[in-house]
Structure 1
């Protein structure tokens, strides 16, 4: 369903870019259901006019956080402020927010135009007509105003739900897995469409999702949640290129993580020397969460390259191996290799198909090389598989 919360004078009219939505601030927010703590002492600030994503697996607390912002749940403790005003104790309809859920909840007996107008009943008729027209134009559905929801595709219905939320001129628009019911191709199209709309209207968007690609495609800032807390927050590029925990490294994309021990600090070059099962691996100190003791050395699959035969690494590369290619999967734009390195486990390697397909066969003996600059190191106390998908837990 799409909530029909009250309007906010400071929010940007649909189609205008003059003003941004309000900032959102959560301070020490905790939400408990009996003995279960769904959100644990959460504090964050979302700047006005930004596209902010709460990313995490099922049960991490992201939807509960969104429902507290919407006023559908009350925090056990802590405060929530929108545009500098404390809204913690106010009801949902009194807050300057609207929510778009995964289920569109359009009224099947009403036309598209009447669905969009549903929350504008207190406005004058001419004002309603203008705002509905502006809202439908924004989502590029003005030509379908007289149709019924049943005559629309899933993507069109989601855009109607979005227009219905936007015409109320909320200070903050909340999006709870809004693209989850769409197929992959349409979902990707809608990701770009949502970003376009957010940029055009300039409102504050808070997007909850478990889809890493969705968060990285649309959001200016991503907060990765785990067990009711924020593990790490930053731009998509920052989180991907420099994760600070094993959970973030594994949940946001894929990572190869192997245990090692820091054995030396190469002070002049700003590098740490790490012993990984007898091999010396160099890690930029600024890319390591600790400079001594046990660490998890990490590298993303697309940063690796496979060395076969007499191919040699460059002086600026780390090398592990030998290993054996155990699986080759053609993925279209790339080929995914699985390489078993004795004593360290299996490494994933993504290679662009610049030459038209796989170039290394299953069973080949290879080595793995990658730039020192792309190496990162995490706390050795982290579990290497933290944040990976557990197939036994999937519905």
Structure 2
């Protein structure tokens, strides 16, 4: 089956000057966003950041306080939800338990009095590889199968825009990862525009062409997954999209190639091209998997940053990698991810170590440390170490 026989191409989505205020608080403040037709776009952020409100505005379930919503160039701001060329897949699936899989998928087509609803339903069920289960009831399916039925029911109506509201949140980890790949494949096959709302960073990076990270009703940063991960602009993005080691210190020298920062007596260099600020006190960072542990101080190399000596305060084995927490006097606690290439580890709890990373892996943030307090990660490394100690780990 070719996509031409199934779905029309998706339409672009444009949000212009969107504000949404509720009594007592503002959920969205001055949101401007364009999502190209046929793309897989993710709105990523913590609870309360405004991402679900944005989705409800696009779906027509809420009305903006100000601004316009355009789908395929058509202003739909004042249209009711059923008038918009938009369908939504929710986390709960919302399938009719008394209907078969086939009847669930064909339901919308029949209500719209479309020709050959059962034939079209079979066609989309073949797309999601569930046509052999067409006669079953939803309760006879697994969670992943129900999710695919909900997706089939949404795309059979050929919407210009498909909204995904945490669609994989109810699935276990292994099935969720499998469905991430399947959803991406289906989106590429049908060519619709997908707007995916999630708080799961891995899910967004796995599926989306473009991610917009939201925080307090605004888009903090937007771009391709790799760009956001490798070059975060703010401490919020650096710590929400994965984990980061962040250091704040004064710039001590600047060249066309690099910016040197004094971090607790350590001269740490970041490439000038990867630094958003190059004067005064700035915040720089590096991802935990870029770091290497050493039992002795490494020899000097202009292309390598070194911090230490420090003390290993926690070791956490997670299968493919081991997480180390290293306390460096004056610099704080560093997080190090080390791939488990061999059985066992040469580094143990309490060991004295040095930490190094290539200068090219560092980044400099746009945050002004004088304007805002330091960002605190979602977890407290000291409490993790203390809890492990109490448990005898």
Instruction: State if a TM-score over 0.5 links the two structures.
Output: yes
2:372 is the alignment partner of 1:385: no
Deviation per residue, 1:262-316 (Å, 9 max, x gap): 121123xx21111111211111112112110111120100000011125435431
- Shift in Å at residue 358 of structure 1? 2.2
| Distance change (3 Å), C-alpha of 1:143 and 1:202 | same
Moved segments of 4+, more than 6 Å: none
The answer as to 2:16 corresponding to 1:27 is: yes
Which one of 165, 178, 185 corresponds to residue 167 of structure 2?
Answer: 178
Contact 1:248 1:387 in 2 (8 A): no
Which of the residues 376, 388, 391 maps onto 2:363?
Answer: 376
TM-score normalised by the chain length of structure 1: 0.92
Unaligned runs of 5+ in 2: 382-393
Contact 1:256 1:299 (8 Å CA) reproduced: yes
Give the alignment partner of residue 216 of structure 1, picking from 202, 205, 209: 205
Instruction: Check if 1:334 corresponds to 2:345.
Output: no
Contact 2:221–2:233 (CA under 8 A) maintained in structure 1: yes
> What pairs up with 1:155-194 in 2 under 5 angstroms?
155-194=144-183
- Where does residue 290 of structure 2 map in the other structure? 303
Displacement of 1:123: 5.7
Counterpart of 2:101 (choices 94, 112, 125) is 112
2:221 to 232, 236, 254: 232
User: Cα distance, 1:168 vs. partner?
Assistant: 0.4
Within-5 A mapping of 1:37-48: 37-48=26-37
Taking the TM superposition and a 5 Å limit, the aligned residue runs for 1:1-395 are: 16=5, 19-122=8-111, 127-267=116-256, 270-309=257-296, 311-312=298-299, 314-378=301-365, 379-381=367-369, 382-386=372-376, 388=378
How far residue 14 of structure 1 moved from its aligned partner, in angstroms, is 6.2
TM-fit CA distance, 1:135:
1.1
Pick closer, same or farther for the CA change 1:123–1:58 going to 2, 3 Å. Answer: closer
- The whole-number CA distance in structure 1 between the counterparts of 2:112 and 2:239 is 49
User: What do the CA deviations read for 1:42-61 (whole angstroms, capped 9, x no partner)?
Assistant: 00100000000000000000
TM-score (norm 2): 0.92
| Structure 1 residues 41 and 331, CA gap change in structure 2 (3 angstroms) | same
Counterpart of 1:8 in structure 2 is none
The CA distance in 2 between the partners of 1:100 and 1:256, in whole Å, is 36
Per-residue CA deviation, residues 212-256 of structure 1 (Å, 9 max, x unaligned), is 000000000000000000000000000000000000000000000
Partner SS state of residue 116, structure 2: helix
CA distance in 2, matches of 1:278, 1:188: 43
Q: Residues 75 and 352 of structure 1: is their aligned pair in 2 closer, same or farther, counting only changes over 3 Å? A: same
CA separation of 1:387/1:86 partners in 2, compared to 1, >3 Å: closer, same or farther?
farther
Is the partner of 2:92 in helix, strand or coil? Answer: coil
- Tell me: CA distance 1:240–1:128, structure 2 relative to 1, closer, same or farther (3 Å): same
The alignment's C-alpha RMSD in Å is 1.9
- Residue 72 of structure 1: how far off its partner (Å): 0.4
Instruction: Name the SS for the 2:62 alignment partner.
Output: coil
**Residue 384 of structure 1, CA deviation:** 3.5
Partner Cα distance (1:390, 1:303) in 2: 21
- C-alpha contact 1:305 1:368 (8 A) present in aligned 2: yes
